[in-house]
């Protein structure tokens, strides 16, 4: 294809050209990452299409390592001239930083066909703007018809997303995969007795179901309506139940502590604690990169290291950090395959799919275990949560539950505690994960020893 007067290459051609440059200039320790993403979204307001947005990003990131020094550069024009310029920029940049522990992987692993991970549904590519708009219009109409207390539907967005990446090197590494999804979000504003309350519902899948538009609209209203009349409750220590939507969001704020890179920089309280008990003896947490259909699944990381399920906590014991090549070399161990990277930047540590096994209790049964508890169904912000210290201080909404029955909708309260304390005070786990596409498989949970401030 053409971009002005420049003839653009196909992605595979661009990768082959970058490889040829590395071989020509005798740079065996190089790799290349090509990423593409596309999004088509439509916003609905008052029964009409308010806005349509279509975006595409495409870029090639180049990394050259010399004597442990890493040089990075990128181009968003897949043509010989821009690729060659970026390659030489990466070579020049490799002379600038201090030497590190980077030693490139020269033995690519044999991996299964990534199609087996079921991350891509070709049927979604056939969805048109009209399909997305119809879904959103039906959701908005259903929300407005569901309850006379609905004042407006301020947000109704439907999107189709797709992405792909290819990582390659001069010495045979070539791995790529693609994924796609469709998502929607509906929020409503409701009023009762002069009190305004907003709420919403999200939907993200890899299979299209047009009938879910109306369902989404009604569920958004239900989520909001149950919190009308919410008020604060007296403060103090009390059991807390996090539902299956809230639990992964709250715990996800602190998962960076399992990064070896963070520990080496002194910003993880898990530094020096491998082999110690950090959670209840019945708690195990695994990072599983091979979970079929999960949004974080992959067989190789962006450095070409084979991924594998990795236990982070086993029966309460902290068993593994997450490593990429550089952090592993510093620790004298092997990479665990947790390198992440965008085409514009350098290597960072990333999780794949964090999995905490479910328990035997549905949400109502979890809430019935203590005589009295606060069921948290919504978090508000997160500025008071410190991922380094583990401190938790965050506004919540939900329900006061007594004797297993929801007695009062609750808002204007804050819960406070500490992530590391929380790990030791999980009393029971729910039997379900939230149903949207995700990389955080954390069920609802009953926690003890949390402070509630009204």
Whether 291 and 333 map to the same domain: the answer is yes
Residuewise pLDDT in 10s, the chain (454 residues): 445 557 889 999 999 999 999 999 999 999 999 999 999 999 999 999 999 999 999 999 999 998 888 999 999 999 999 999 999 999 999 988 777 767 777 776 788 999 999 999 999 999 999 999 999 999 999 999 999 999 999 999 999 999 999 999 998 889 999 999 999 999 999 999 999 999 999 999 999 999 999 999 999 999 999 999 999 999 999 999 999 999 999 999 999 999 999 999 999 999 999 999 999 999 999 999 999 999 999 999 999 999 999 999 999 999 999 999 999 999 999 999 999 999 999 999 999 999 999 999 999 999 999 999 999 999 998 889 999 999 999 999 999 999 999 999 999 999 999 999 999 999 999 999 999 999 999 999 999 989 999 8
Whether 351 and 219 map to the same domain: the answer is no
Whether 300 and 421 map to the same domain: the answer is yes
Whether 185 and 240 map to the same domain: the answer is no
Rounded Cα distance between 11 and 58, Å, is: 9
Whether 275 and 199 map to the same domain: the answer is no
In a domain, residue 169? The reply is: no
Whether 278 and 419 map to the same domain: the answer is yes
Whether 58 and 130 map to the same domain: the answer is no
| CATH number for 216 | 3.30.2290.10
Enter the pTM of the model: 0.94
Whether 270 and 365 map to the same domain: the answer is yes
What sign has the CA pseudo-torsion 257, 258, 264, 270?
positive
Whether 206 and 270 map to the same domain: the answer is no
Domain boundary, last residue among 186, 208, 225: 225
Copy the structure tokens of residue 13: 């051609």
Rounded Cα distance between 102 and 328, Å, is: 9
Whether 109 and 202 map to the same domain: the answer is no
Residue 58's domain comprises 2-114
How many domains does the chain fold into?
A: 3
CA atoms within 13 A on the CB side of 441: 23
In a domain, residue 397? The reply is: yes
Whether 265 and 392 map to the same domain: the answer is yes
Whether 390 and 340 map to the same domain: the answer is yes
């Amino acid at each position: 294809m053409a971009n002005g007067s420049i003839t653009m290459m196909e992605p595979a051609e661009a990768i082959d050209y970058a490889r040829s440059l590395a071989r020509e200039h005798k740079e065996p320790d190089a790799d290349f990452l090509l990423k593409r993403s596309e999004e088509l979204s439509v916003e609905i307001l008052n029964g009409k299409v308010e806005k349509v947005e279509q975006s595409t990003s495409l870029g090639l990131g180049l990394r050259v390592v010399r004597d442990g020094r890493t040089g990075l550069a990128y181009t968003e024009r897949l043509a010989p001239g821009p690729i060659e310029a970026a390659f030489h920029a990466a070579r020049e940049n490799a002379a600038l930083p201090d030497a590190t522990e980077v030693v490139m992987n020269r033995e690519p692993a044999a991996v299964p066909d990534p199609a087996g991970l079921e991350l891509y549904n070709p049927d979604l590519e056939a969805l048109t703007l009209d399909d997305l708009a119809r879904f959103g219009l039906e959701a908005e109409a259903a929300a407005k018809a569901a309850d006379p207390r609905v004042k407006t539907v301020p947000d109704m967005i439907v999107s189709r997303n797709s992405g792909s990446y290819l990582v390659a090197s001069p010495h045979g590494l070539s791995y790529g995969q693609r994924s796609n999804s469709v998502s929607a979000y509906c929020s409503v504003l409701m009023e009762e007795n002069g009190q305004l309350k907003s709420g919403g519902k999200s939907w993200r899948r890899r299979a299209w179901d047009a009938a879910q538009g109306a369902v989404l609209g009604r569920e958004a209203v239900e989520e909001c309506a149950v919190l009308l009349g919410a008020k604060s409750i007296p403060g103090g220590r009390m059991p807390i139940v996090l539902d299956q939507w809230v639990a992964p969001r709250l715990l996800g704020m602190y998962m960076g502590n399992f990064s070896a890179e963070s520990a080496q920089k002194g910003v993880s309280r898990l530094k020096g604690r491998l082999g110690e008990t950090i959670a209840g003896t019945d708690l195990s947490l695994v990072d599983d990169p091979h979970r079929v259909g999960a949004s974080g699944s992959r067989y190789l990381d962006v450095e070409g290291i084979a991924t594998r399920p990795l236990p982070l906590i086993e029966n309460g014991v902290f068993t593994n950090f997450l490593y990429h090549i550089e952090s592993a070399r510093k620790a004298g161990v092997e990479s665990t395959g947790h390198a992440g990277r965008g085409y514009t930047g350098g290597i960072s540590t990333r999780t794949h799919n964090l999995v905490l096994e479910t328990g035997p209790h549905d949400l109502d049964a979890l809430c019935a275990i203590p005589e009295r508890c606060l069921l948290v169904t919504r978090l508000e912000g997160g500025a008071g949560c410190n991922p380094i210290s583990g401190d938790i201080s965050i506004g919540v909404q939900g329900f006061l539950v007594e004797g297993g029955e929801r007695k009062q909708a609750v808002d204007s309260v804050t819960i406070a505690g500490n992530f590391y304390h929380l790990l030791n005070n999980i009393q029971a786990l729910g039997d379900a994960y939230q149903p949207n596409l995700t990389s955080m498989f954390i069920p609802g949970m009953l926690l003890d020893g949390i402070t509630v401030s009204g």
